[in-house]
Amino acid sequence: METEQQRKERERQEDLQRLRGLRPIDDDFMRCLFRENIPLTQHVLRIITGKSDLIIENVETQADMKRLVGARSICLDAYGTDDAGKKYDMEVQRADKGAGVHRARYHSSAMDIDNLDAGQEFDELPETYTIFITENDIYGKGLPFYPIERINMATGEPFGDG
């Protein structure tokens, strides 16, 4: 029969083993790292965007985006706003399956819906960035990041929709 002290020690060892398996790419761990952590969010976004002067004013983890009735709901992993009003959605994705292009498109559209109220003009939409931080190189090209932008196929120029 296990004593109370033995049970507590066994549970402690089990907790330690679970902690050893956690990495920042794990959703639960990432959520704790970025929660209300403006300096970390700002540092990561400065690296990813190449904007060394980027100032993040707020960050929210697990931000619930409002949905139309019947539409799929999402929770943004880390959602921040910079001093120019630009919005950043950072999705930390360990599994390759959840980092697809259609999911990125949906996240981008959810930010648009959340940032434009009834009566506002479409040109009032803030510039937004949807960023997936993945464990693996999902494109398999050996690059550390893949900037993606909408392009006007006729002119080869950026679409410029923010």
DSSP assigned state of 150: -
Cβ-contact 65, 111 below 8 angstroms:
yes
- Give backbone dihedrals phi and psi of 19, rounded to 5 degrees, phi first: -65, -40
pLDDT value, residue 66? 67
Q: Report the DSSP pairing between strands 56-64 and 151-152.
A: unpaired
In sequence order, what are the residues at sequence separation of 6 or more whose Cβ sits closer than 8 angstroms to the Cβ of residue 10?
Answer: 2
Return averaged pLDDT per consecutive 10 residues of the chain, 162 residues in all: 91 87 78 87 90 89 75 84 92 82 90 89 93 90 91 93 86
Beta bridge partners of 131: 90
What pLDDT is stored for residue 58 in this prediction? 87
> What does the alpha-carbon distance between residue 162 and residue 157 come to, in Å, rounded to a whole number?
13
- Count of CB atoms within 10 A of residue 120's CB? 10
Q: What is the pLDDT of residue 85?
A: 92
* Cα dihedral sign, 135-141-146-150: negative
Give the phi and the psi of residue 54 in degrees, each rounded to 5. -60, 130
